[in-house]
Amino acid sequence: MRKPLNILSSIAVAAVFLSASPAWADHEGVPVYRTIMYSDATKTTVVGTIEFQYCTYDFYEFDGVQYRLEGTYTYHQYDDLIGWCSEGSFGPLH
Residue 43: other Cβ atoms inside 10 A: 13
Domain coordinates in residue numbering, the chain? 25-92
pTM above 0.95, yes or no: no
For residue range 18-76, what is the model confidence (pLDDT) as tens digits? 444 444 456 678 999 999 999 999 999 999 999 999 999 887 778 899 999 999 999 99
Q: Concatenated DSSP letters for 21-62? A: SGGGTT--SEEEEEEEEESSTT--SEEEEEEEEEEEE-TT--
Is the pLDDT reported for residue 12 higher than 50? Answer: no
pLDDT at residue number 34: 96
Is the pLDDT reported for residue 14 higher than 90? Answer: no
